[in-house]
Amino acid sequence: MDQSLIKQYLLASFPQFEARLIETLIDNAFLKEFNEGDLLMNTGQNMRFTMLVVEGLVKLYREGEDGSEFFMYYIHPGGACALSMICSTKQQTSEIKASAVDKTTVLAVPTTLMDELMKNYKTWYYFVLETYRSRFEELLVVIDHISFKAMDERLEFYLEKQHHDLNTRALMLTHSQIANDLNSSREVISRLLKKMEQQKKVILHRSYIEYLK
């Protein structure tokens, strides 16, 4: 049944939540599934639910005016989208998108419930603040990289991150995909990858990259 499934998910992914909070969430939230590639959140729409990721993987990226995109970070089970945690705000400026990388399950918590949760459950408000803080810091790291680092270093960091977040050395990525994520171009990425291969940091294959270091 759905209720007990929610409980299982919460216990597994959000072990820090207090028992009463879990009960409240079971009574008020519902599960939602997304397939690979589905959009969880689109630009500027008013959020009526806070989404807690309980299974799968979500990719957050920024969309430029011309359609080019820019990878920011992944959200793993146990995380939530910071932006989805605010009850009904304008959000006109920020063009941000979230899409499922794998088959993903999220727990949708109505934003109308936020006041009560914040007030009554310490573990909830810790979670909200911690979510904001960590996303904030990730953005700072992103800013660091694009403003202070050159492409080769950014590429290495990107691959390291992929390796770490996806927990595999076999990175299923084409050069164009990487170029998109880093807002660069395929040729540039190809050349840099070639260099990295010579430095024995990766081995290149068709449609995937073996991460060594």
For a copy of itself, give the closer residue by CB, 4 or 147.
147
Q: Among DNA, a copy of itself, none, what does residue 186 contact (CB within 5–8 Å per kind)? A: DNA
**Three-state DSSP class for 51?**
strand
Is the Cβ of residue 122 or residue 164 nearer to a copy of itself in the bound state? 122
Q: How far is the CB of 144 from DNA (least distance, A)?
A: 14
Rounded Cα distance between 106 and 31, Å, is 6
* 186-198 helix and 151-166 helix, angle to the nearest 10 degrees: 80
Q: Which of a copy of itself, DNA, none sits in contact with 160, Cβ below 5 to 8 A by type?
A: none
How many positions of this chain bind a copy of itself (CB under 8 A)?
38
Residue 89 found at the interface with a copy of itself (CB under 8 A):
yes
Rounded to whole angstroms, how far apart are CA atoms 117 and 98?
Answer: 24
Residue 208 has φ and ψ, to the nearest 5°, of -155, 160
Binding segment toward a copy of itself, per CB under 8 A, in 33-41, 83-91, 98-106, 155-163: 83-91
Interface region with DNA, contact rule CB under 7 A, candidates 71-79, 80-88, 129-137, 169-177: 169-177
C-alpha closest to that of 142 among 127, 158, 126, 130: 158
Closest CA to 102 of 142, 61, 53: 53
Share in percent of the chain as helix, strand, coil (round to 5): 45, 25, 30
Q: Which does 140 bind (CB under 5 to 8 A by kind): a copy of itself, DNA, none?
A: a copy of itself
Nearest to 178 by CA among 197, 156, 196: 156
Residues between 187 and 206 with contacts to DNA, criterion CB under 7 A: 187-188, 190-191, 193-194, 204, 206
> Which of DNA, a copy of itself, none lies near 23, with the C-beta cut-off 5 to 8 A by kind?
none
Query: Using CA of residue 12, residue 56, residue 110, residue 95, what is the dihedral sign?
Result: positive
Residues 145-164 interacting with a copy of itself (rule: CB under 8 A): 146-148
Residues that bind DNA (CB under 7 A): 150-152, 174-176, 183-188, 190-191, 193-194, 204, 206-208
